[in-house]
Chain A
Amino acid sequence: EDQVTQSPEALRLQEGESSSLNCSYTVSGLRGLFWYRQDPGKGPEFLFTLYSAGEEKEKERLKATLTKKESFLHITAPKPEDSATYLCAVFAGNTPLVFGKGTRLSVIA
């Protein structure tokens, strides 16, 4: 069974304090790994798609990387507006996306 585990469950950072969120997965035949940001009571907002090990994508203060077993979302010099829950999901072909439970990030000014 495909599984996605995100860690930590919650992370509290000072503004400007860089860190990384982890998404480890067990899936047969990964076709794509997705990162989303979700604000409370809102729909998940698409951030990145990664297709193969070694791939990296960047957007503003966020950078996503992928290995054969896990993905990292690096947050550089975060700001309070980066506070949200970050979700990871994997796609393995004919099965629907499998989501992790997310990392709840709080950035304190």
Chain B
Amino acid sequence: DSGVTQTPKHLITATGQRVTLRCSPRSGDLSVYWYQQSLDQGLQFLIQYYNGEERAKGNILERFSAQQFPDLHSELNLSSLELGDSALYFCASSARGEYEQFFGPGTRLTVL
């Protein structure tokens, strides 16, 4: 158990819908990262927050957004969902950028 929690574990929804994925980092970690992993792709970095502020952005679509709250939990919002958004979404946390990241169990999103 990495100490990072993610909810929900599974999410099934329809095209055009909007969903919110939630992540709680390990106790004391200030950085939260979001990744997408599709069957034929490796881990794709989406976005990083550090202590409530956006720190880095990767290949995140404009339909996706995220935020980190004062209690350090983070939410990833995915809107106008398409079939291609079906994937595993992972959250990770770390104490500082150069330290190892610890991953949560992931949310499996299926868009029908």
Interface-centre pick from A49, A95, A96 (highest chain B CB count, 10 A): A96
Do the beta carbons of A46 and B105 come within 8 Å of each other? no
Do the beta carbons of B108 and A44 come within 8 Å of each other? no
Do the beta carbons of B88 and A31 come within 8 Å of each other? no
Q: Please, how many angstroms separate the alpha-carbon atoms of A42 and B45 in the complex?
A: 17
Total count of chain B residues near the partner, CB < 8 A: 23
Chain A contact residues: helix, strand, loop or mixed: loop
B60 nearest CB across to chain A (Å)? 11
Q: Please, how many angstroms separate the alpha-carbon atoms of A108 and B102 in the complex?
A: 29
- Answer yes or no: A91 CB below 8 A from chain B CBs: yes
- Answer yes or no: B25 CB below 8 A from chain A CBs: no
Do the beta carbons of A96 and B100 come within 8 Å of each other? no
- Answer yes or no: B28 CB below 8 A from chain A CBs: no
Interface-centre pick from A31, A43, A91, A94 (highest chain B CB count, 10 A): A43
- Could you jot down 26 A-B contacts, CB within 8 Å? A31-B98, A32-B98, A41-B88, A41-B108, A42-B106, A43-B2, A43-B4, A43-B103, A43-B104, A43-B106, A45-B103, A46-B2, A46-B102, A49-B99, A49-B100, A87-B42, A91-B97, A93-B98, A94-B56, A94-B97, A96-B48, A96-B58, A97-B33, A97-B101, A99-B43, A99-B45
Given contacts A34-B101, A45-B2, A97-B101, 11 further A-B contacts (CB under 8 A): A32-B98, A43-B105, A46-B2, A46-B101, A46-B103, A87-B43, A91-B98, A93-B98, A95-B56, A99-B45, A100-B42
Binding site for A on B (CB under 8 A): 2, 4, 33, 42-43, 45, 48, 56, 58, 88, 90, 92, 97-106, 108
Binding site for B on A (CB under 8 A): 31-32, 34, 36, 41-46, 49, 87, 91, 93-102
